[in-house]
Structure 1
Amino acid sequence: MYHPLSVFIGLRYLRGRSGDKFGRFVSYMSTAGITIGVMALVTVLSVMNGFEGQLKHRILGVLPQAVISGDAELAPDVNTIANWNNVTGTAPIVSTDAVVQSPVSIAAGRLLGVEPNSPEPIREFMVRGSFEMLKPGAYHLVLGRKIARDLDVSVGDKVRVMITSASQFTPVGRIPSQRNFTVAGIYDTATDVDGQLMYANLNDVARLMRLPRSQPADLRLFLEDPFDVPTIKQIAETMGYEWSDWRELRGELFQAVKMEKNMMGLMLSLIIMVAAFNIISALIMVVMEKQAEVAILKTQGMRHKSIVALFVVQGASSGVIGAMLGGLLGTALAMNINEIMHLFNLSLLGNGIALPVVVKTEQVLSVVVGAIVLSLLATLFPSFKAASVRPAEALRYE
């Protein structure tokens, strides 16, 4: 005899009789619904992970992720800060809002004063010129492609940089601190950062800002996980440092991306919930059809919990099969979505740009396990309903 008996009978009920075509159709549709729901959820989440990763790399990888500053008496201690958890590196930096003027146009952005030999992620996105040309006293400037296009300038052209926060009084009124710079390079991150950040040598920017020589430069932190800035901020503030991070410039963007990702996951989860309700419908029909057989099993000594397990096995099998199949198909679709779209000559982003895809194993497993748990919960009511059948009443007219 096959053991356990409830699993044997449950799997046999799952196949159904040859004459029960409608019951099998509902069961198959339940499995297909869960498969499609899990597959869509895995694919969409993988694409959203890709977009989030691209934004994180192109924006948070370029923006100063965190900056701490102090005065002459409390200068940031590089050796101490470099040993903080999640901090992978440090570099001196000064920054200010600036206005850039060319012979044909004017633009505004954030001017960063950096050391050309320090680690600078923007080097990865340079398309013209060289970042190493930002030597002290040369007054060279690196612009984003958007600012360069708005100003109609290229490498070698002259622009005027003005800092209103360092203005001074003159006989003709208050005049901002200004200086002619030579465009030494252009970078392109393919984000709106290209229209905001400008780079120059740290000493040149400090002179333009009229900073006293005794004032130390701010310290830029490179973080292993930029989303963990609240923990480091608390440490920095307890030590008396002033703190600023990427959330002041881009916090709302990543909050919106996270919310959109959660909403997409919620909407696609409804597909799985609908399929789970189909399992309830299919099981209720099976319970009504099998009342006499359940009564016979009870008269032969089958216990209450075994009857429940019998129908749980039948109903959950659809969920398990659908969830595992959906997880495999979703992973395969996500990893090959660009090839499939190219096959049908489709491009969601235009200009042949591929969709960024990041498949996270733990995320796929959580979706599959969640679908299985949901299908198990959907089987409980019909299963307990079947176990409550009274043999005398069910066999009265047999």
Structure 2
Amino acid sequence: MFRPLPFFIGVRYTRAKRRNHFISFISLTSMIGLALGVLVMILVLSVMNGFDRELRTRILGMVPHATISSYEPIDDWKKVAAEVMTHKEVVAVAPFTQLQGMLTHRGTVQPVLVNAVLPEAEKDVSIITQHMVQGSLDDLKSGDFGIVIGEITSRRFGIKIGDKLTLVLPEAAVTPAGVFPRLKRFTVVGIFKVGAELDGSLALINIEDGARLSRWELNQVEGVRLKLKDLFDAPRIAWEIARSLREKDLQPRDWTRTHGNLFQAIQMEKTMIGLLLLLIVAVAAFNIISTLVMVVTDKQGDIAILRTLGATPRQIMAVFMVQGTVIGVIGTLIGGVLGVIAALNVTTWVAWLEKLVGHQFLSSDVYFINYLPSELRVEDVVLICSAALIMSFFATLYPAWRASRTQPAEALRYE
């Protein structure tokens, strides 16, 4: 089989044996360093992609993409909803009323955001029905004062379906016995679990029960919640809709005001971590320079002999470029394969490790999700591997150029 001389010699130097064990060793360490850099970069970016995906699917699946609300209760929300639905970017609309208060049960107190919703309409704008672990959203009947709570709240209070909770509202009620906070007993009719911080901070009640607590008419609501085709365009769409509505006192609001900082933080962290890890890959790739410099020094006699046999400077340069490129390709390939395997299995591995040590690394009480997510993207793998290969190639140029400048007489003077 025909093999070009530079390719043949370059590959041979990469796997040199006998007296050249040191050359083989430094070539191996360069491969390992590059492989580890590529592996870690693929794994970390996949984890950051996973956090980004969980934010969009879980957190932003539960909170409104946008809302149109008023400081005064809205009497005819269906009319407003019909006008909102005329916008081409709106997928679904549902009424809501928000109340802030505290849940208490047997001396345990927890702050909570209470969403008063219409069960049949809420299913169209929220993922809540997909994450009900007990009960159903349809069990929120008007007048029954039922409540749906998160799994963390249920665990914290030690309650289940049918148990009673007390909702304390930040409004004082004057009675003959004095001034007391407003209290209302609710029956737990459902428990949801989205695996995020909302499991411990959100509760749902019927829209008419929310009106009763707010001392409004039963048909009055605070506003309407919107589900949009493109949630990242929510600020613009919300303002367009608010301007187009006949009632001018309605105010638009979107998710970027409530959870935008979290999303921006994840995006910034992903960018900065990507740059830092790219520097690690660059350091590993440029280890090839030191490897080839030592090889060139060790092979001065061989280079001189090749030159006297008729090898051109270009061929000598190609020999060491081939050697460095082979190191880069093998290191990148190994790192890419191991990185893909790690990214696809890291969630399972971390869960297994948590069970083994009996400790949960990510808790919903602290983080916005309770497990380590991962989402492998082909474009990330291609970009990382391409960057590693390009840096590996450029790292070969200077040592190869030095080898091509070797003078045979000077190299063989002390041989």
Normalised by the shorter chain, which TM-score bucket?
Answer: 0.7 to 0.9
Which shows bigger deviation, 285-294 or 275-284? 285-294
Alignment check: 8 A CA contact 1:161 1:178 kept: yes
Alignment check: 8 A CA contact 1:341 1:347 kept: no
Alignment check: 8 A CA contact 2:154 2:160 kept: yes
Q: 1:181 aligns with which of 169, 174, 186?
A: 186
Instruction: Name the counterpart of 2:344.
Output: 335
Q: What is the CA-CA distance between 1:258 and the residue it aligns to?
A: 5.0
Cα-Cα RMSD: 4.1
Matches within 5 A, 1:56-67: 56-67=56-67
Instruction: Name the counterpart of 1:91.
Output: 94
Instruction: Name the counterpart of 2:162.
Output: 156
Alignment check: 8 A CA contact 1:97 1:109 kept: yes
Q: 2:326 aligns with which of 317, 323, 330?
A: 317
Matched position secondary structure for 2:120: coil
Q: What is the CA-CA distance between 1:142 and the residue it aligns to?
A: 1.3
Cα 1:7–1:224 shift into 2, 3 Å = farther
Letter matched to residue 371 of structure 1: A
Deviations along 1:203-231, whole A, 9 cap, x unmatched?
321342245789665232335665x2xx3
For residues 347 and 380 of structure 1, the distance between their equivalents in structure 2, rounded to whole angstroms, comes to 49
Alignment check: 8 A CA contact 2:100 2:169 kept: yes
Identity %: 37
For residues 63 and 25 of structure 2, the distance between their equivalents in structure 1, rounded to whole angstroms, comes to 55
For residues 384 and 390 of structure 1, the distance between their equivalents in structure 2, rounded to whole angstroms, comes to 13
Matched position secondary structure for 1:117: helix
Cα 1:131–1:346 shift into 2, 3 Å = closer
Q: 1:233 aligns with which of 235, 249, 253?
A: 235
Residues 1:277 and 2:286 are matched in the alignment: yes
Cα 1:267–1:109 shift into 2, 3 Å = same
Letter matched to residue 218 of structure 1: G
Cα 1:381–1:243 shift into 2, 3 Å = farther
Matched position secondary structure for 1:143: strand
Question: What is the TM-score when the length of structure 1 is the normalising length?
Answer: 0.78
Alignment check: 8 A CA contact 1:38 1:367 kept: yes
Matched position secondary structure for 1:37: helix
Alignment check: 8 A CA contact 1:308 1:387 kept: yes
Q: What is the CA-CA distance between 1:89 and the residue it aligns to?
A: 3.6
Which shows bigger deviation, 130-139 or 38-47? 38-47
For residues 228 and 414 of structure 2, the distance between their equivalents in structure 1, rounded to whole angstroms, comes to 75
Instruction: Name the counterpart of 2:386.
Output: 369
The unaligned stretches of length 5 or more in structure 2 are 244-250, 362-369
Q: What is the CA-CA distance between 1:3 and the residue it aligns to?
A: 6.7
Instruction: Name the counterpart of 2:405.
Output: 388
Q: 1:196 aligns with which of 190, 196, 201?
A: 201
Q: What is the CA-CA distance between 1:33 and the residue it aligns to?
A: 1.8
Letter matched to residue 252 of structure 2: W
Cα 1:236–1:334 shift into 2, 3 Å = closer
> Between Structure 1 and Structure 2, how many residues are aligned?
390
Instruction: Name the counterpart of 2:246.
Output: none
For residues 261 and 163 of structure 2, the distance between their equivalents in structure 1, rounded to whole angstroms, comes to 35
Residues 1:132 and 2:138 are matched in the alignment: yes
Q: What is the CA-CA distance between 1:111 and the residue it aligns to?
A: 1.0
Residues 1:208 and 2:206 are matched in the alignment: no
Cα 1:18–1:151 shift into 2, 3 Å = closer
Alignment check: 8 A CA contact 2:242 2:252 kept: no
Q: What is the CA-CA distance between 1:116 and the residue it aligns to?
A: 0.7
For residues 248 and 324 of structure 1, the distance between their equivalents in structure 2, rounded to whole angstroms, comes to 43
Which shows bigger deviation, 17-26 or 202-211? 202-211
Letter matched to residue 202 of structure 2: L
For residues 156 and 43 of structure 2, the distance between their equivalents in structure 1, rounded to whole angstroms, comes to 38
Residues 1:112 and 2:112 are matched in the alignment: no
For residues 258 and 91 of structure 1, the distance between their equivalents in structure 2, rounded to whole angstroms, comes to 30
Q: What is the CA-CA distance between 1:280 and the residue it aligns to?
A: 1.0
For residues 57 and 161 of structure 1, the distance between their equivalents in structure 2, rounded to whole angstroms, comes to 29
Q: What is the CA-CA distance between 1:312 and the residue it aligns to?
A: 2.0
Q: What is the CA-CA distance between 1:2 and the residue it aligns to?
A: 4.5
Q: What is the CA-CA distance between 1:283 and the residue it aligns to?
A: 0.5
For residues 297 and 188 of structure 1, the distance between their equivalents in structure 2, rounded to whole angstroms, comes to 73
Q: What is the CA-CA distance between 1:46 and the residue it aligns to?
A: 3.5
Instruction: Name the counterpart of 1:121.
Output: 127
Question: What is the TM-score when the length of structure 2 is the normalising length?
Answer: 0.76
For residues 2 and 358 of structure 2, the distance between their equivalents in structure 1, rounded to whole angstroms, comes to 56
For residues 161 and 345 of structure 1, the distance between their equivalents in structure 2, rounded to whole angstroms, comes to 35
Residues 1:69 and 2:69 are matched in the alignment: yes
Matches within 5 A, 1:281-300: 281-291=290-300, 293-294=302-303, 296-297=306-307, 300=310
Matches within 5 A, 1:12-27: 12-16=12-16, 18-27=18-27
Alignment check: 8 A CA contact 1:177 1:209 kept: no
Deviations along 1:355-374, whole A, 9 cap, x unmatched?
54433222222222222122
Cα 1:190–1:348 shift into 2, 3 Å = farther
For residues 21 and 326 of structure 1, the distance between their equivalents in structure 2, rounded to whole angstroms, comes to 24
Cα 1:317–1:21 shift into 2, 3 Å = same
Alignment check: 8 A CA contact 1:26 1:278 kept: no
